[in-house]
Amino acid sequence: MPPKLKRISGSELIKIFSIFSFFPLKQEGSHVKLRRLSPEGHKQTLTIPLHDELDRGTLRAIMRQASKYIPEEKLFPHFYTE
């Protein structure tokens, strides 16, 4: 059986990305901008909607965006069930 995308809230995602050194920068309405600095000093930003449960498409888009900064194999266990 293929892995399934987990049901995740915006606040849970913020906790997941804090593991990877992202911190909340600011909140605009129901969206939180997370940021971290790369070892080279580049700003890396993610925007997370603070919904109780994120749509699967939104979750996939956030994972795709985050995979620019974090290897997919490190993200996968946080987003998918085994």
Using a 10 angstrom Cβ sphere, with 0-12 exposed, 13-18 middle and 19 or more buried, the burial of residue 54 is: buried
Give the model's pLDDT for residue 56.
Answer: 94
Q: Note the pLDDT tens digit of each residue in 40-72.
A: 999 999 999 999 999 999 999 999 999 999 999
The sign of the dihedral angle between the CA atoms of 49, 55, 61, 62 is: positive
End-to-end CA distance of the chain: 9
Q: What is the mean pLDDT of residues 17-45?
A: 96
Q: Note the pLDDT tens digit of each residue in 2-23.
A: 889 999 999 999 999 999 999 9
Give the model's pLDDT for residue 77.
Answer: 94
Spatial distance between the Cα atoms of 17 and 22, rounded to a whole number of angstroms: 5
Instruction: Kindly report whether the global pTM for this prediction surpasses the value 0.85.
Output: yes
